[in-house]
Amino acid sequence: LSLYSSPARETKYVENPQTPLEEGVSRLRHVMEPYTAWCQVQWFCITAGSALCSDFFSEGCEFLQNPPAGFYPRLGVIGFAGIVGLFLARGSKIKKLVYPAGLMGIGTSLYYPQQAVAIAKVAGTHLYDWSLQGYIAVESLWKDN
């Protein structure tokens, strides 16, 4: 029991009515919410990508300052293979993409065979997955018609 008695308060919370400006801002926020969420996701991806990019370039600079033995001659041969590919790729634009990349890939695989095998395995599995997805898409279109 309380020594002091207090009168019972009968308070009631009354919310102020929204003004037309507040209602308009509220509607605008609800309409723009998906776009702002998308922008937040994109901003996160950009910041994460820039952090990875800066790490990659800092490691690359360290690697180029202290290269392993014979790195620059190998790099020269691979680069020269790309230039020869550009020289041989007269004509179509597809040749200008395929020849330099192909010759540089061949030169790189000669100097780094273990890494080339690992990349070929990963690329092969991705290519197989993409071809299966394409086959399934074409098959579903064919059956629908």
In a domain, 16, yes or no: no
In a domain, 3, yes or no: no
Whole-prediction pTM value? 0.51
Quick check: 60 pLDDT over 60?
yes
Number of domains present in the structure of the chain: 2
Check residue 1 and give its pLDDT.
54
Using CA atoms, how far apart are residues 132 and 139, in angstroms rounded to an integer?
10
Neighbouring C-beta atoms of residue 42, cutoff 10 Å? 10
Per residue in 33-58, pLDDT tens?
999 999 999 999 999 989 888 888 89
The domain of 139 spans 92-144
What is the rounded average pLDDT of the residues 4-11?
A: 73
Using CA atoms, how far apart are residues 30 and 141, in angstroms rounded to an integer?
38
The DSSP letter of residue 127 is H
Check residue 31 and give its pLDDT.
94
In a domain, 6, yes or no: no
Per residue in 87-120, pLDDT tens?
999 888 899 999 999 999 999 999 999 999 999 9
Same domain, 61 and 103: no
Same domain, 25 and 65: yes
Check residue 132 and give its pLDDT.
95
Quick check: 64 pLDDT over 60?
yes
